[in-house]
Homo-oligomer: A and B are copies of this chain.
Amino acid sequence: MAIIVDKVEKRRNIALSCSELLLENGIKNLTISQLAKTAGIGKGTIYEYFKNKEDIVFEIIKALIDEFKSELEVNLKNYTGVRDKVFNYFDFIFNDEKYKNHRKIYIEFLAITLTSNSQEMIDFNIECKDDLLMILRGIFQKGVDRREIKKEAMGLVNGLFFLEKGLLIEQNMSKINAKIELKNFINTLFNLIEIKEK
Contact = CB atoms under 8 A, between A and B. Distances in A.
Interface of A: 2, 26, 28, 42, 44, 107-108, 110-115, 121-122, 125-126, 129, 152-153, 155-156, 158-170, 172-175, 181-182, 184-185, 187-189, 191-193
Given A122-B174, A162-B163, A181-B162, A156 B107 contact: no
B158 A181 contact: yes
A107 B169 CA distance: 12
Contact of A167 (B153, B155, B162, B193): B162
A42 B192 CA distance: 60
B192 A129 contact: no
Nearest to A164: B166
A188 B114 contact: no
Contacts of A182: 159
A183 to B, nearest CB: 10
Contacts of A175: 122, 126
Contact of A28 (B44, B115, B162): B115
B173 A122 contact: yes
Contact of A156 (B108, B166, B185): B185
Contact of A193 (B155, B173, B192): B192
A152 B166 CA distance: 22
A30 to B, nearest CB: 13
A154 to B, nearest CB: 8
A162 B173 contact: no
Contacts of A156: 185, 188-189
Given A2-B44, A163-B159, A166-B167, A115 B108 contact: yes
A178 to B, nearest CB: 9
